[in-house]
Amino acid sequence: MSGRFYLLVGVMIFAVANSVTRKLTEIGAQNLIDGRNPISFCNVLFVGNLCALVALLGVYYPQLKKTAFKNLSLRNWGYLLLVALLSGALAPALFFSALERTAVNNVILVSRIEPPLILGLSVVFLGARVNRWVVSGAIVSTLGVILTVVLQPPQGDMIEMSGFQLGIGELMAAGGAVSSAIANIISKVSLQNISLGFFNVIKTALGTVIFFVIALLLYGKEHFMDISSPLLWKWMIVYGTIIVVVGQLCWFAGLKRTSASEVSLANAFNPIAGVLAAFLILGEIPTTAQYLGGLVIVLGIIFNQIGIVQQNKILSKAVPEQKMSNKTNLPPSNSR
């Protein structure tokens, strides 16, 4: 199968994740246990990660050798623990909490602040070189996210900042995107010597443990009273295997077989597919604020694609010249 096919499947799976999560909680609300929802967001995150961890162990077991553990320094373990805290526990918890408080479309659109953040952090900490189109695309996309948040009509939990009413759910989604972006940069800077499979297994395991411990400290063991519910485990086996593991495997398989521009283009369709999934699965119709913010975000994505195409043209001309002059080849891209 072509790399584009794998990318398409990966994007589709990730795009429906938020809508599927919300739908599962609605199914749980229809099957209460003593007035409690067995498929709460905390149970989804914890049990879903456990099921995903088992599936990841089955896929990446050959990479979990003793030498892989011995080659990790204390600094590597420290960075792994930090990445697991940020992207394995904090970011998912914030996204799931956001889904409890606001519309799925808001979570999808606000989370688009992550690519511009990764770009900015890459320029500062990795010395990445970008052209004006890419920078413009990042700025425009960020403005689209701001419009989505600011133009929302007052509803649910709101706070006032500088005269604007901002939703708690939207702010949580933004916090999740920030945590994920920081974890992405840390993994690129400090964990490049770790294999992808080993990284995913350890990050998922540490993230699951960290989330469970924090939830116990904050809410007590009663918070997980319904964790043994057959209904919960039935759906989480499907959720953890397909949404988490199959989505990751397809995405990484696509990364190996396609160019950077194709990966960027596939990733650009994620918010569009996510909004469409929210409509098909939940019947969620975009609001005026979501339409305006989404259109601006799409415009930023278009600018970004133009910039990437121009950068690829420059690189394609530079590579033959480097080979002719026997200069150092460009470093391989990091797919993590």
pLDDT given at position 322: 46
Instruction: Indicate if the pLDDT at residue 106 is higher than 50.
Output: yes
- Per DSSP, 224 falls in state G
**Domain definitions of the chain by residue range:** 3-316
Query: Which helix (H) or strand (E) covers residue 17, if one does?
Result: helix 3-29
Q: Are 13 and 264 in contact (CB under 8 A)?
A: no
The b-or-e profile of 12-28 (16+ CB within 10 A means b, else e) is bbbbbbbbbbbbbbeeb
pLDDT band for position 155 (cuts 50, 70, 90): low
Q: Are 254 and 4 in contact (CB under 8 A)?
A: yes
Mean pLDDT over the full length of the chain:
87
How confident is the model over 17-40, as pLDDT tens digits?
A: 999 999 999 999 999 999 999 999
The string of DSSP codes covering 61-112 is GGG--HHHHHT--HHHHHHHHHHIIIIIIIHHHHHHHHHHHS-HHHHHHHGG
Task: Evaluate if pTM is beyond 0.75.
Answer: yes
- More reliable by pLDDT, 292 or 308: 292
Q: Tell me the residue type at 331.
A: P
How confident is the model over 38-94, as pLDDT tens digits?
A: 999 899 999 999 999 999 999 898 888 877 888 888 999 999 999 999 999 999 999
Query: Which helix (H) or strand (E) covers residue 160, if one does?
Result: strand 158-161
